[in-house]
Structure 1
């Protein structure tokens, strides 16, 4: 008797190998036909499950970690659909910022400079041949040419990324695809700036900021990492002055940064340190440059570190910045934006003289030997000069006491940088963060963290903030700050007369667009205007992903239907950046947390 429910298959008719690519195409078409991933915008909020999915950085290749985390998200999206929810599962591409710029620089061997002439239909190879450039030399191109190359590279990368995600079978609704540099993302970021500006949550000032000397841009606290670096403590004898005369008295400071002696503006020791109490209120003198410095007490010094008495420079670290502000010390910035020593001229102490020296002629001879050098080269040369007895501030022996003592210490780097960060004075834009620490802690507690202990990482970061968020970057491929500055009759920027673009104008590029009430002929002319060159920190844009997907401040806005979103999936390494900044922006714009849940995944190594 034959079982009609069974079907006999001829083994010879079966393919010898399973065709994975064919099955991937089949199921992709099948799910697309069924509309499995399609989100219905008409349903009420309680039937919606919205995912603030992370836009991967488009600056290289996807790896196993991406597959690991996006598979988690897709499982949740499919599970919520099985529960009857309408799932909003978008996908974005984080394509602006330094990672993309570096990829383009390396791929094409080019470098953008503000004053470079724009070349229409740039052919890089022909341009290199025309200029007879060696392979080792980068081709200098205009801002616009460089941005065009960035767009070209990211567009190709996004196609590859999208194809892989589709082959994986991720149930993404591709109608909600976006890029962090596209038209609406630029508009959303600039609207965010306008809203914060009107709420007085933004400010601009010339202040000490952490600076990457290779990328030549300011960086924010969240982009900084400590790396262990081998250095040395140098025991250096400083002198003590009596009025404008040197004496034979001195004391020893141990420092790992002797190259900053020209930038010294003070000396500090602990008030309870009996070794130095007799020095408070007196005037110290630097070796080599013979600059007079105030000696003051500070509880922030560590008597057990080095010799227990410190030189205060502008600037070696954040503590130097704090002392500089607290004691109204002069500014002696010896490094330029490229990390090289500036041309400095010392003069006799007098009111209005920044670079003071009791022996200006000798100081200028010494400084001349390090002008133009990098920090590393300047340090080597300064140590050599400290072995010269003629550079002593007390006239007795060499300033360098003994040989440098090796030490390993944490040094701050930009997370994508190759050289240590410096603190330089530069004018930047900041979002007020320190004023909202307690509110941000409360907002974090309104979110369910999975796993729950990851909330502690967020709170530790928030509680230990020591600076407002620096959001301006001196780079090219990013969203421009939507502002212009009025110029006075001498053509100088009036930083107190900022012209902010209106919502109808956005997105704008101040380097090519004109503010209301002016015409192009007034650009960079006295009594005219000038456009802001800076772009936003990439996190300023990425922190608006919920609003970007929800079409914030657009006619067909989805905010009431999907915000706050139900879930933010992300890695633990970007709690201090993406999670923190998204919560900060949501609190400042909407006075609530951006999601109900955050799922933090681990890493694959």
Structure 2
């Protein structure tokens, strides 16, 4: 039996314990029925979980619960992405110390301890939110299993010729002191000074060069002009120079003037300084024209010895000093403020540089067409997100740099022979291993035994991109892999299409030749103030999810999270949470009302449809069938919001506002077939509503089910019950026509009472209904319901042509 009030603060923790104790969400690998596997996003351990996570992970949970109720065996694991730069920065922030200030062993121990504590907090919040995860399949990207699959992937791609190492210009973050991939660069619009400086030609003429980066003058190796630019074409093959006593050990810098069609004559002065390296065009020119390498900026973001007296100072300081010296020497011709796009590291916001370093790369540029085809083999939801993926692939300029000059990550299973320089790889059966701790167990081909271990670690995306292979147990269980690969669903946010989605497709293409999932569901962002997404690393959420759940209920927070269509961004909306709480209360009150009338129904009465169902009952059943049909179709497309809206309309309007009002007269009758019809219909409709709401509001629906339906339903939990597909058989167009007429009748009566200042419960002496002849018999059959809903002591029917239904009241 249900108590007077629903107390979520006690009910929700109790149900979490009940679900765990009963194994309600446990995946049954030996069971029958289709398998539905979710490649769940492993949240990065880079801060605390926030409302944005509650937003997107609840949406995935709705889909998981729906498929479980469809009878599918749902493998719904949860992982944690806890290696790599984001976690390192989180640990440094927690310790208030840099990794470089600690012994490596001490720092790595702190990484393990802090990430384990954070992951336990993550898991506790997910459970409190009601995620139906099977925690037996919890994993982390730093676990031995993840290390093994990541290192195996490296060895396999190297064997295929897909991985290579070389000294090359790469994107570099001076703050994090590591190479980064193209996908980790965010574009930032910034204001800067565009300075035109005077280079001198051999004949004494001035060649104006405009630049936003005067600090790169010590690294200048050429000046480029467009071959068709009439102003400068005659200068090709000559040299230009600039005095450099203030910023270089050389007295002056002299560089050749070269022609290249990549120069934009309309930008700046039309003559462009090429430095190694200011941008990707500089890299192209350096390679194409075989230019020298002059590196003025070091890995720490400070000027190198190439900058002479400026060596050791920051980029910003060097820029100011060089500009001041140029101004003092009269070498600045013009200066203006402009807006330009600046590449910054997404992890810390620092402007990126291009440095020449040794890195590991995965070849992707030669596979663009195959990667596009693989993306097109998926069902994208929403569909337009596929375009984002394709734009990213089409505009790739770099192979994937997977090495990082950090500490906390999965090491490359390789060594280099100090005697002959040959690379020696670990054998697959040795994995996982740390080459910094373990030496090869056999000599190099040259006979030497002295090896230098690979000291870099893998990028975090190089490990998390193996998630379908990891949960699919590629290396250990071929039968399991065949059942779970490709996964059914990849849910993820739209900002990591260019990283997690793309890199996972790269690994899938190279390791399996097919897509890693059947469909991909892209979530939007929950936004903080100023339209900025909530971020773990920025800590910009003033709403703590655990506190909100204790204040508002998990169901109410889930209601807010599932009200926006797939892929759309939204702000946290307290009004939506409040609406969710009202829905919880309404469900409870409706169940409490129904309890008095359906609790004594026998199993036999429930199991068999009554011989007599009034038009009102058949109308509700038909509307329920429509609702199930629409909701099911939308949820199959992962459109949880439109499905929920349809369910809510049925519950609030059809069931509560209209059906319950219409049948109250029958419910309070002593006995009879009409009362049984109303009770049976109410029982079936309320149970179906609980099932429809169960993926969204798992707590209150379960509590009602346990108190009102479990004994007669037979399922230990509502969340192990079947989705109400049986209602699809109850479509009844004739009953719906009668129902529409009844609703019109009720609206007219309610308008009349409102216009005359009467309460809805006010009695009417006589209600005269003029209706089309075809509808009159059915409406007369609902006389009891009409009188119950309108409070009319007498009801008279008259036939009329034209309007379907009109009334007059005495």
TM-score range, shorter chain: 0.7 to 0.9
In structure 1, the residue matched to 2:424 is 499
In structure 1, the residue matched to 2:132 is 171
Query: 2:45–2:90: 8 Å Cα contact kept in structure 1?
Result: no
- Shift of the 472–298 alpha-carbon distance from structure 1 to 2, 3 Å rule, reads same
In structure 1, the residue matched to 2:18 is 30
Per-residue deviation, 1:438: 0.3
1:596 aligns with 2:522: no
In structure 2, the residue matched to 1:133 is none
Residues of 2 paired with 1:556 and 1:173: CA distance?
21
Residues of 1 paired with 2:359 and 2:39: CA distance?
30
Alignment of 1:149-188 (within 5 A): 149-188=110-149
In structure 1, the residue matched to 2:267 is 305
Alignment of 1:67-216 (within 5 A): 67-113=54-100, 140-216=101-177
Query: 2:443–2:449: 8 Å Cα contact kept in structure 1?
Result: no
Query: 1:475–1:535: 8 Å Cα contact kept in structure 2?
Result: yes
The correspondence for 1:286, drawn from 232, 239, 242, is 242
In structure 1, the residue matched to 2:507 is 585
Which protein has the bigger strand share?
Answer: 1
In structure 1, the residue matched to 2:702 is none
Per-residue deviation, 1:547: 0.8
Query: 1:551–1:557: 8 Å Cα contact kept in structure 2?
Result: no
Residues of 1 paired with 2:235 and 2:252: CA distance?
17
Query: 1:238–1:285: 8 Å Cα contact kept in structure 2?
Result: yes
Query: Equivalent residue of 2:387, what SS?
Result: helix
In structure 1, the residue matched to 2:324 is 384
Note the residue ranges of structure 2 that are not aligned, 5 or more in a row: 245-250, 528-810
In structure 1, the residue matched to 2:204 is 248
Query: 1:287–1:399: 8 Å Cα contact kept in structure 2?
Result: no
Residues of 2 paired with 1:561 and 1:100: CA distance?
33
Per-residue deviation, 1:259: 1.1
Alignment of 1:421-440 (within 5 A): 421-440=352-371
In structure 2, the residue matched to 1:468 is 399
Structure whose alpha-carbon radius of gyration is higher? 2
Residues of 1 paired with 2:516 and 2:489: CA distance?
9
Per-residue deviation, 1:269: 1.2
TM-score (norm 2): 0.62
Query: 2:490–2:520: 8 Å Cα contact kept in structure 1?
Result: yes
In structure 1, the residue matched to 2:452 is 530
**Alpha carbon RMSD of aligned pairs, Å?**
1.9
Per-residue deviation, 1:32: 2.7
Structure of greater relative contact order (alpha carbons < 8 Å, 6+ residues apart)? 1
Residues of 1 paired with 2:72 and 2:221: CA distance?
64
Query: 2:490–2:519: 8 Å Cα contact kept in structure 1?
Result: yes
Corresponding pairs, count: 519
Query: Equivalent residue of 2:428, what SS?
Result: coil
Query: 1:37–1:171: 8 Å Cα contact kept in structure 2?
Result: yes
In structure 2, the residue matched to 1:230 is 191
Q: Deviations over 1:28-76 (max 9, x none)?
A: 23323443212122357x7111110111112222111111111111111
Note the residue ranges of structure 1 that are not aligned, 5 or more in a row: 1-6, 114-139, 242-246, 345-366, 390-397, 520-525
TM-score (norm 1): 0.83
The correspondence for 2:226, drawn from 258, 270, 284, is 270
Query: Equivalent residue of 2:429, what SS?
Result: coil
Residues of 1 paired with 2:14 and 2:313: CA distance?
62
Residues of 1 paired with 2:417 and 2:427: CA distance?
16
Q: Deviations over 1:376-425 (max 9, x none)?
A: 11111111221244xxxxxxxx22114x2111111111101243111111
In structure 2, the residue matched to 1:401 is 333
Residues of 1 paired with 2:96 and 2:134: CA distance?
37
Q: Deviations over 1:214-268 (max 9, x none)?
A: 1110000000011122211111111223xxxxx3122100111111111111111
1:317 aligns with 2:279: yes
1:420 aligns with 2:335: no
Which protein has the bigger helix share?
Answer: 2
Query: 1:49–1:86: 8 Å Cα contact kept in structure 2?
Result: yes
Residues of 2 paired with 1:559 and 1:155: CA distance?
28
- Shift of the 342–527 alpha-carbon distance from structure 1 to 2, 3 Å rule, reads farther
Per-residue deviation, 1:22: 2.6
Q: Deviations over 1:530-562 (max 9, x none)?
A: 111111110001101111111121157621111
